[in-house]
A and B are shown apart, each in its own frame.
Chain A
Amino acid sequence: MAERYRWFVGRLAAMMLSLSALMVLFCANRAAAAQLAFTRHQLSNGAVLLVSEQHAVPMAVIQILVEAGSRRDPEGQEGLASLTADLLTEGTTKRTAAQISEETDALGARLSSSADVDFAQVSLTILSKHLDRGLGLLFEILMQPSFPPQEVQRRRKAALAAIDAEQDNPGELAYRNFLRLVFGGSPYGHPPIGERASLEKLKRADVLRFYRRYYRPRGMVIAVTGDVDTQAMVAAFERALANWHSEIVPEFPPPVVPREEPQAVTIDKPLTQTNLILGHLGVTRDNPDFYAISVMNFILGGGGFTSRLVESVRVQGGLAYSVGSQFTAYKSSGTFHIAMQTKNASAAEAITRACAEVRRIRSQMVEKEELENAQQYLTGSFPLRLDSNSKVATFLAQVEFYGLGQDYIDQYMQRIRSVTREDVQRVAQRYLHPENLHLVAVGNLGEARLPSPPVCGLPQ
C-alpha cells in the first residue's frame, strides 16, 4: 500500500520495532475499569464474541483474531500464514479482489487482514450506517475466500518485493537476523512475511491447506466496539458463523530453540549509523513473572524518556535518538532485546553503555522512586489505552486471546502494585543474561569497531 510521504520530525519515533502487541502494557484503575463495559458471549460453534457498546461516535470497529499466525508456518514454508491472511481480501466465492476494494472504499471503510506471530487478524472500521454491508463483506472474506491463482502469485511477488525492500531498512534487516539468531529454524525464527527461499516455492495448494486447517471458529476471538447493539451483534455472528464447521486446531508444540551461545551477525552497508540489536530468549506471556518483568523493563529501557537506557545512551551520551529495551512475550516463547542506532564510530561505546545498564539492574536494587514511578505510570496510564474504539477492540481481543481473564484489569493493577524492589532484582537476575546477549549490527563495519561475542564480556 501507499506509504505516507511525510513524517513529522518529532522528539521520539516509535521506540522499538514491535512485531507483537503483547508488550502493550495493559493497566487499569477503578475509574477506567468502570468505563470499559463489555459482555462476553460463547457462540455455539466455539468462537468467543466480546462486545463493548460505545455510542459516542457513529462508527464500529470489529477485530477478529484467529490462531493462524506465523508461528504456524510449516518448516520450509515461512511466510505462508502471512500470505494466507493477505489473500483473504483478494477474492471470495462471490466477489473479485477489485470488487472487494471498490465496496470497501465506497463505504469509506477500513478493511485489513494480516498475520502477526501468534495470530492472524482481520479488522474492519466502519461508519455505523454501513455496518450491515460491512459485516457482509467481513463474513465473506473470513469464510469464503477463494484464493484465485493469479492473486496468489501477485501477493507472493509483493511479499518477495517487500523482502527486497528490507535492504533499505536497516532496523528491519537487523530484527530479521535477530530472530534467526535466537530461534534458529524454529517457528518463531522469522518475521511473519517469511523468507525469500520459502516464498519462492509457495503454491496455492499450500495456502488452501493452511486456510482449511487453521481458520476455524473454535478458538477464534471477535471483539466489537462502537455504536452497535449487543444482542443484534450476537445474533448476527451466531447466524453468520452457524454453518462454519469447527474442528480442533492442532496443538502447537513448544518450539525447540537452539542452545544459547552468544553469536554475532554483522552486515556491512554504506550507512552513517550502525543499527544494533542485543538480545536473547525471553519469556512466554503466561509466565507468572510477566508483571515484575514489565516493571523491571520499564525502568531499564521500556519507559519512554525516563528509562535508564535513554538516560545513559541518549541524555548523557548523546549517542542515539532512539534506544530502548523490550520483552516480547508470545504464547509459547519470547525474546528480550535492546535496539538502538548510533553513528558508526560510537557503536562500541553505545554497546558498552547498554551492557553497563543490564549489569547494574541485576547487581543493585533499583531506587524506591524508580519503582514507584514505574508503578504509577503503568497503572495510571490505563485510561489512555482505552480512549478510542480501535484501542478498546484491540485490548478486548488480546486479553481474550491470551486467556488473561475477565478480571484482567483489576488483576493487572494488583500485580503491578505488588512488585517490590527485591522482585525487580530477582527477575533481572533471572531473565537478563549479559554474558549471553547475541549481537546484530547493520552498518559500516569498517567504521564501527564492534566487540566480538560475548559483547558484554564474561560473567563478572
Chain B
Amino acid sequence: MLLLGLFCSALLVWPLEASGRNVSYAARVQEHVLPNGLKVLLLEDHKAPVVVFQVWYRVGSRNEELGKTGLSHLLEHLMFKGTDKRGPEEYSRIIQRNGGNENAFTDTDNTTYFATLASDRVEVVVELEADRMQNLRFDDAQFQPEHQVVVEERRLRTEDNPTAALFELLAATAYTAHPYQWPIIGWMNDLQKATREDALAYYRTYYAPNNAFVVAVGDFASARLLGEIERWFGAVPAKPAPPAVRAQEPPQQGERRAILRRPAEVPSIAIAFHTPNLKHADAYALEVLASLLGDGKSSRLYHKLVYQQQLARTVGSHYDLLTIDPGLLYVYGQPMPGKNVRELERALLAEIEELQRAQVSASELEKVKNNLEAAFLLAQDSLFYQALLLGQYEIADRWQRLDDYLGGIRAVTTDQLQRVAREYLKPDNRTIALLEPIPARGGKPAPPAPPPGLPVH
C-alpha cells in the first residue's frame, strides 16, 4: 500500500515558459513513500530515451567521528564488492552490459549511487540497488585492495594537490565542534586504520530504506517504474533510525588564520565565513552575494582582480546553500606570478568591504539575478543534474524547496545584500587560510625535454 503522491502546488504563480513548459517541480515530480520508509521521487522527462536512477543514503562524513573519519566514502567503494547473490564488480559489469554508466559519490551529508541507462533497461538497476541495500558482502580479499585504492585516492586528491590540501585546512580551522571540520575522504591516519569491521558496522547502521530515498528522472512511465521499485525495494526491511548528529558549531568570535607551508609552485588563499543555509531567510541573499562576487567574467572578483588589476590568476566564490547544518561562504584565489598572496588577500577583503560600504546598483543586481535564473533553467538540459538537484534539496531540507528558488532570488533587494554582507562577512566571522609554497627539498629542476627527433618542415 502506498501513501498518495503529494501534489502540492507551489506558493508562487509560475510563469509558463514560452514553450508552454511548466517549470515548477511540484507540478512535475511524484513523491511516494513505501511502507518501509523509502521515499521515491519520480520526474518524467521524455526528451531522450534515457533514465537516470539514483539512490541517496542520508549518511556522509557528517555522521562520522574523529578517529574513524572517511568511513562513509570507504563504504561507498565497498558497495561495489558484491552481495550474497553477486560477485565483486558484478554490479558494474551488469550495468555496462546493458549499455549503462554507473558511479557514486560521497558528500558531507549523503552518499549517492547512480546509474544512467537507456529507458528500456531501467529495471536492471532497480533490482541491483535493492539487493545491495540489504545484502552487501565482501571479505578481506576484496576489502584489502579496495582499502588501498581509497588511500591512493586520498594521495591523488589531497596529499599531492596543494589547493585541495589548503581547503582541507580551511575547514579544519573554521569548524571547531562540528564534523564539517574533517575532509569527506577522511584524515589519512583514520583512513589507513579503518577495518573491514568498521565498514560493515557502518553499513548495518546507516543503509536502510528508511534512511534513503530514490530519485528517477527521465523517460519512463511513473506507474510502471513505481511498480518495479515497490517490487524490489518493498521487501527490504526497515531498521531503527540511525543516531542523530547532535553537534552544533558555536558562533565564531574573532578571525582565525591558518598557514599551510609545503612544497608547491603557486601560492593560494581561501577565506571562509560561517553562514546559514537554505533553512534560513537570508539564504537567497547569500546565494546572490556569492554569485555577484564570483560567477562569470563580469563578476566583481574576476573583473577587478583578474581582469583589471591582473593580480589574480584565478578567483572564485562558493556558498553552501544545500547543507543539513550551516555551512560556509568561500572566496578564494591564486595570485599571478610575481604577485604576493598577501596582496591578493587584501584585495579580496577590500571587495567584501565594498559590499558592506556601498549598495549594489539595481542594474548589477538585475544582472546577477538573470544569471542565476538562467543557470537554474539551463540545468534542465541535463537529466542527471535535475536528479542531483532534487536529491540535494531533499537532503538539505525538502525537494519541494526547489520551487522557492527563483522567487527567492528575485525577491532579494539591495538593502538585504548590504545587510547580509555586514552581518556574515565580518572579520570576526572569517577564517583565512594561506598556502605558502616552500622550495622542494632536494627538488631537482625537471630535466630538459629530449631533443626532437627529425627536423620538421
Interface set of A (CB-CB < 8 Å, partner B): 1-13, 29, 31-32, 35, 54-59, 61, 75, 97-98, 101-102, 104-110, 125-129, 154, 157-158, 160-162, 164-165, 167-168, 170, 173, 177, 180-181, 184-187, 189, 227, 255-259, 263, 265-273, 303-306, 311, 314-322, 341-343, 372-373, 376-377, 379-384, 386-390
Contact = CB atoms under 8 A, between A and B. Distances in A.
Given A9-B106, A108-B375, A376-B99, A167 B265 contact: yes
A158 B314 CA distance: 9
B172 interface: no
B123 interface: no
Interface string B312-354: 0111111000000000001010101100000000000000000
B156 A321 contact: yes
Interface in B132-157: 144-153, 155-157
A11 B457 contact: no
Closest 9 CB pairs of A and B: A258-B453, A380-B99, A108-B374, A318-B145, A2-B316, A184-B452, A318-B148, A56-B47, A167-B265
Taking chain B's interface residues, is the majority helix, strand, or loop, or is none over half, making it mixed? mixed
Contacts of B330: 5
A143 to B, nearest CB: 21
A185 B380 contact: no
Taking chain A's interface residues, is the majority helix, strand, or loop, or is none over half, making it mixed? mixed
A386 B382 CA distance: 10
B380 A57 contact: yes
B313 A165 contact: yes
A114 B73 CA distance: 36
Interface of B: 17-19, 21, 45-50, 73, 76-77, 80, 88-89, 92-93, 96-107, 116-121, 144-153, 155-157, 159-164, 167, 184-185, 218, 263-266, 270, 294-299, 301-303, 307, 310, 313-318, 330, 332, 334, 336-337, 366-368, 370-375, 377-378, 380-383, 440-441, 443-444, 446-447, 449-457
Contacts of B162: 168
Contact of B155 (A104, A227, A273): A273
B149 A377 contact: no
Contacts of B263: 269-270
B298 A273 contact: no
Given A177-B449, A321-B149, A2 B374 contact: no
B336 A105 contact: no
B453 A104 contact: no
17 contacts: A10-B105, A58-B377, A108-B371, A128-B19, A164-B337, A180-B452, A185-B452, A267-B446, A271-B160, A272-B155, A305-B80, A305-B89, A306-B89, A341-B156, A380-B118, A380-B121, A384-B99
A108 B118 contact: no
A56 B218 CA distance: 12
In this complex, the member of A167, A173, A341, A380 whose beta carbon has the largest number of chain B beta carbons within 10 angstroms is: A380
B87 to A, nearest CB: 11
Nearest to B439: A270
Given A4-B316, A108-B374, A387-B48, A98 B103 contact: no
A437 to B, nearest CB: 15
A218 B270 CA distance: 47
